Amino acid sequence: MTMVKSQAKHQDLVKLLNITFQNKNLLDNAFIHRSYLNEHKEFAGDSNERLEFLGDSVLSLVVSRFLFENLPKMTEGQLTTIRASLVRTETLAKVGKDLNLGKYLLLSKGEEDSGGRENQSIMANTFEALIGAIYLDSGLESASKVIEHVILKRWKILAKTAISDHKSKLQEVLQRKYHISPTYKLLSTWGPDHAKEFEIGAFYNERLLGKGQGKNKQIAAQNAARSALLTISAQKKQGNKLNN
């Protein structure tokens, strides 16, 4: 199977972002989910995961530089909180949906049937892959212009939940004090399909800092992060530090 003509297939997107791809295969590659390859063994292409990896770094660099230059009175911790709110999965998924990236995705039938085009994680990863593709095709300046257009022009709106975002706060605390990010693991789930409940654990290295429950994994993770922050606060009051 050969690649679809990108410039025609993605004409609405490239027009919206005001970009032109020289290497159109890169643009195609940004929308190939790994599930599609599992179902189409004859497909002559790779998934978008490597582009996602690159785009994540480009996004972090561009957002960090913007905040550094535009918020000179902010502390490192404050900048970290705002950056985390701008590059988190929920924010990037919203940006991806605003750009209608889901309609360009190549997915397996199973992923398609389970709502993959609206899945937050897939949408955020696809946006990162798109940024990686733009960076490889036309450099950091072009990637920066796109990030500015879709994120940084409205950074205050996108970041307004940072103060109440327990996951961002936990990320800030652990990065500032211990130079490590928290991890989240699904501990258990129960209930019927129409009313499932989830329990998520927030971990520092392999140490469980807090648990949280909710009607979806996002809410449960926020509650786990809140519990972890309370654990850290209690340890601080006792004069203790987290053990590695």
User: Could you give the residue numbers annotated as active site?
Assistant: 56, 128
Q: Which two tokens stand for residue 5?
A: 């003509």
CB 83 within 8 A of CB 70: no
The SS3 call for residue 192 is coil
CA dist 107 and 40 (Å) reads 10
Contacts of residues 65-73 at CB distance under 8 Å and 24 or more positions apart, as own/partner, are: 66/148, 66/152, 66/155, 67/155
Measured CA to CA in angstroms, residue 58 lies from 70, 89, 103, 147, 236 at distances of 18, 15, 24, 10, 35
DSSP state for residue 162 in the 8-state scheme = T
DSSP state for residue 230 in the 8-state scheme = H
